[in-house]
């Protein structure tokens, strides 16, 4: 029997179809392009590159695969080092390990929550002293907010080390007028089910280097030499996106701008609905950048609210609402035990503090105002409980 006392589940970031996806899927079925290549794939790559202002794009099976290919294009392998943002999802670093290279984690800074240029410089100085510079730097744009790209690019250019932008969460965001993901040697987006637009699963590698992208297509299709018989001189992967999923992507890309507006509205509404509660600090937006606010993220000051991220998440779970702590920094993950880490300041890690105090609220572009009020009412009731004890 249905229990009507349990309110429907509110997800952190649910897929949001436009309705047009079926048109492209049906076209693929009608023409029997049920394959990993085809017209939707070519068109999706071109449309995506045009949208972000990159010279080219290669559609792949995931963002993780896109990063693996980018690292392979830079010929990174065993014995190499790669610098990577510490405050991120594990997929920003796993492909570094696939290649046999060693990840070195770089702390966040307070204004963007992203890679600290100071920590990056510290890591470069230490690596230079050892005579072991990294072969690449993976910079993440967390929750849609751009990292400080001018400062980061200046440092990396000085050491002549290429930058790969992990823009999995920041499609539709910009930094000083440039699309997130188009400032480094390579950038990639994710179309996983929870991202701002989705193909149910998929990724896109972008670059201005068309020769490198041609090589990416080769590597992602098992590195088949141009011979009639199957001949391979090099290790390859099976990483291409299917023509069906690319059809979903084409329809999703058409509504990307609407999705960004909707997510930014979700953030604005949370801010207004919780305005009067002291001790909540919203993830900042750096001047001259526009974040897609993929997730609304905030930190909670326990001394002012009487709350912690854990207590809020527990209360929301009880109300059938999904919320999450901020990503656990990768240098704290058991998987990466023993890896090097460079903090923002000696003995002060910004990413660790954000992990202790940060939380992400449900932020889907299809979230209704009623859903949001359900979330904020629950948080509000917690604060009232805390302080009624004091008042009594």
| Residues of the shown chain interacting with ligand PLP in the complex, contacts defined by CB under 6 A | 62-64, 88-89, 91-92, 140, 166, 168-169, 190, 192, 203
Q: Of 307 and 339, which has the nearer Cβ to ligand PLP?
A: 339
CB of 89 to ligand PLP, least distance (A): 4
CB of 260 to ligand PLP, least distance (A): 16
Q: Of 88 and 305, which has the nearer Cβ to ligand PLP?
A: 88
Question: Do residues 47 and 65 lie in contact, with contact meaning Cβ atoms separated by under 8 Å?
Answer: no
Q: Of 190 and 351, which has the nearer Cβ to ligand PLP?
A: 190
Catalytic residue among 195, 215, 287, 328: 195
Residue 368's CB is within 10 A of a number of other CB atoms, namely 10
Q: Of 62 and 305, which has the nearer Cβ to ligand PLP?
A: 62
Q: How far apart are CA 253 and CA 18, in angstroms?
A: 10
Burial environment of residue 298 by CB neighbours within 10 A (0 to 12, 13 to 18, 19 or more): buried
Q: What do you get for the CA distance between the two ends of the chain, in Å?
A: 42
CB of 297 to ligand PLP, least distance (A): 13
CA 173 to each of CA 17, 142, 300: distance values in angstroms, whole numbers, following the listed order: 20, 11, 25
CA atoms lying within 13 Å on the CB side of residue 287? 0
CB of 82 to ligand PLP, least distance (A): 14
Which residues fall within 8 angstroms of residue 3, CB to CB, at 6 or more apart?
Answer: none
Q: Catalytic residue at 328?
A: no
Token readout for 12 is 């952190």
Catalytic residues: 195
């Amino acid at each position: 029997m249905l229990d009507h006392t349990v309110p429907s589940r509110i997800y952190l970031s649910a897929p949001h179809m436009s309705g047009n996806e079926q048109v492209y899927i049906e076209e693929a079925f009608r023409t029997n392009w049920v394959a990993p290549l085809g017209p939707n794939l070519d068109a999706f790559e071109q449309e995506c590159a045009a949208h972000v202002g990159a010279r080219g794009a290669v559609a792949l099976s995931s963002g993780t695969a896109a990063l693996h290919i980018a690292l392979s294009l830079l010929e990174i392998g065993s014995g190499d080092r790669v610098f990577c943002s510490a405050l991120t999802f594990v997929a920003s670093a796993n492909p570094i390990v696939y290649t046999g290279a060693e990840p070195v984690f770089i702390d966040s800074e307070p204004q963007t929550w992203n890679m600290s240029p100071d920590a990056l410089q510290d890591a470069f100085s230490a690596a230079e002293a050892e005579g072991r510079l990294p072969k690449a730097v993976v910079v993440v744009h967390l929750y849609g907010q751009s990292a400080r790209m001018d400062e980061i690019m200046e440092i990396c250019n000085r050491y002549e080390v290429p930058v790969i932008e992990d823009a999995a969460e920041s499609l539709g965001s910009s930094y000083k007028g440039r699309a997130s993901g188009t400032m480094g040697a390579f950038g990639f987006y994710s179309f996983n089910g929870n991202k701002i637009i989705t193909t149910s699963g998929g990724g896109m590698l972008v670059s201005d280097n068309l020769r490198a992208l041609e090589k990416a297509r080769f590597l992602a299709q098992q590195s088949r030499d141009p011979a009639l018989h199957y001949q391979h001189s090099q290790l390859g992967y099976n990483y291409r996106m299917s023509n069906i999923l690319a059809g979903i992507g084409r329809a999703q890309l058409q509504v990307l701008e609407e999705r960004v507006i909707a997510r930014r509205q979700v953030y604005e509404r949370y801010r207004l609905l919780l305005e009067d509660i002291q001790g909540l600090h919203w993830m900042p937006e750096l001047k001259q950048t526009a974040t897609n606010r993929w997730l609304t993220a905030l930190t909670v000051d326990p001394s002012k609210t009487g709350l912690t991220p854990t207590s809020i998440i527990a209360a929301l779970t009880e109300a059938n609402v999904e919320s999450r702590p901020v990503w656990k920094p990768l240098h704290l993950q058991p998987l990466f035990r023993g890896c090097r880490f460079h903090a923002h300041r000696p003995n002060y890690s910004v990413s660790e503090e954000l992990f202790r105090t940060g939380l992400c609220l449900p932020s889907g572009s299809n979230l209704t105002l009623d859903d949001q009020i359900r979330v904020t009412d629950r948080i509000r009731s917690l604060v009232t409980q805390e302080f009624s004890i004091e008042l009594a």
